[in-house]
């Protein structure tokens, strides 16, 4: 039986009838093959990328949006997929992920165990996964600068925002921690996410021109936000 190439896998990924567990297995298989460095943009998407301030409940919103669109949602699952595919230490990989990356580099420096993975290698793998997910299309991606790895014209880039005090209250109640601890956590995560985007893409994470829509969670309910985004997707012809 002939060995399946990356292009073979990508063609099958275009069949949106595949259930998502099979899609993840297919993506993992394709990552072991050499992918084109610059796949044609018209092969990517559609997708919705959700960037979020810490404490805005971005993961919960993305889940609701995925249910409304009947699209799978990838959040930390992206990191798990990289770990499984490349047989890496999942715990270390999660330390390198998005908001934590700068902290790991600051603390470990040259002592970081390169036989496990370094930050630049992680981001390289992340880009490959994002491109493959983009080739599948019809997916909601949470964080990890997805909209900067993928062509803007092939999907929707969203930014969730809310006043700091509201975010502090949400995190304090959700995690059952003191308000001052919630505030420190939020400010730290936001700072590290901003560093990730600036370091690897040379952009400011809060630049509104990076997004198709900036959505204020303090003035709109989850259902209203979801309806807005679903309407935008339908208007652009995105469908299951």
pLDDT by residue (tens digit) across 72-111?
A: 898 887 777 766 665 555 555 555 555 444 434 443 344 3
Range of the domain at 225: 45-235
Interval 163-219: pLDDT, tens: 999 999 999 999 999 999 999 999 999 998 999 999 999 999 999 999 999 999 998
- CA nearest to 50, candidates 132, 133, 161: 161
pLDDT of 42 strictly over 90: no
Residue 2 has a pLDDT of: 46
Is 175 within the bounds of a domain? yes
Residues above pLDDT 90, as percent of the chain: 45
pLDDT bracket for residue 130 (50, 70, 90):
confident
Residue 13 has a pLDDT of: 43
Mean pLDDT, the chain, integer: 78
What's the average model confidence in pLDDT over 24-49?
64
pLDDT of 235 strictly over 60: yes
Q: At residue 126, what are phi and psi to the nearest 5 degrees? A: -60, -45
Number of structural domains in the chain = 1
Is 7 within the bounds of a domain? no
Is 23 within the bounds of a domain? no
More confident of the two residues 129 and 62? 62
pLDDT of 17 strictly over 90: no
Within 8 A by CB and 6+ apart from 175, the residues are: 182
What burial letters (b/e) apply to 46-69, b meaning 16+ CB within 10 Å?
Answer: bbbbbbbbbbbbbeebbbbbbeeb
Alpha helices in the chain (DSSP H): 6-13, 20-30, 58-69, 77-86, 90-96, 101-108, 119-136, 146-149, 164-175, 179-201, 222-235
What burial letters (b/e) apply to 212-235, b meaning 16+ CB within 10 Å?
Answer: beebebeeeeeeebbeebeeebee
Write the CATH number for 189.
3.40.50.300
CA distance 10 to 102: 33
Element (H, E) at 139: strand 139-142
Is 215 within the bounds of a domain? yes
Is 87 within the bounds of a domain? yes
What's the average model confidence in pLDDT over 34-57?
77
Check: CB of residue 229 under 8 Å from CB of residue 156: yes
Residue 40 has a pLDDT of: 58
Residue 4 has a pLDDT of: 43
Tokens of 13: 């990924």
pLDDT of 15 strictly over 70: no
pLDDT bracket for residue 115 (50, 70, 90):
very low
pLDDT of 3 strictly over 50: no
More confident of the two residues 19 and 223? 223
Is 37 within the bounds of a domain? no
- Burial (0-12, 13-18, 19+ Cβ within 10 Å), 25: middle
Residue 159 has a pLDDT of: 97
- CA nearest to 157, candidates 210, 100, 118: 210
Residue 54 has a pLDDT of: 95
């Amino acid at each position: 039986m002939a060995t399946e190439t990356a292009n073979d896998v990508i063609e099958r990924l275009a069949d949106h009838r595949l259930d998502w567990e099979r899609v993840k297995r297919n993506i993992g298989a394709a990552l072991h093959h050499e992918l084109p460095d610059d796949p044609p943009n018209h092969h990517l998407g559609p997708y919705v990328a959700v960037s979020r301030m810490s404490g805005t409940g971005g993961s919960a919103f993305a889940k609701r949006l995925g249910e409304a669109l009947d699209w799978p949602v990838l959040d930390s699952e992206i990191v798990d997929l990289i770990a499984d595919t490349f047989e890496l230490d999942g715990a270390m990989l999660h330390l390198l992920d998005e908001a934590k990356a700068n902290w790991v580099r600051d603390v470990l420096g040259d002592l970081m165990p390169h036989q496990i993975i370094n930050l630049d290698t992680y981001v390289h793998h992340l880009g490959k996964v994002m491109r493959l997910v983009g080739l599948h299309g019809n997916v909601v991606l949470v964080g990890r600068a997805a909209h900067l790895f993928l062509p803007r014209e092939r999907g929707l880039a969203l930014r969730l925002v809310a006043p700091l005090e509201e975010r502090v209250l949400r995190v304090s109640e959700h995690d059952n921690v003191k308000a001052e601890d919630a505030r420190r956590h939020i400010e730290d995560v936001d700072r590290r996410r901003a560093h990730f985007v600036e370091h690897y893409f040379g952009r400011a994470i809060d630049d509104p021109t990076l997004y198709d829509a900036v959505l204020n969670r303090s003035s709109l309910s989850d259902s209203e936000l979801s309806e807005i985004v679903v309407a935008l997707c339908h208007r652009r012809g995105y469908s299951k």
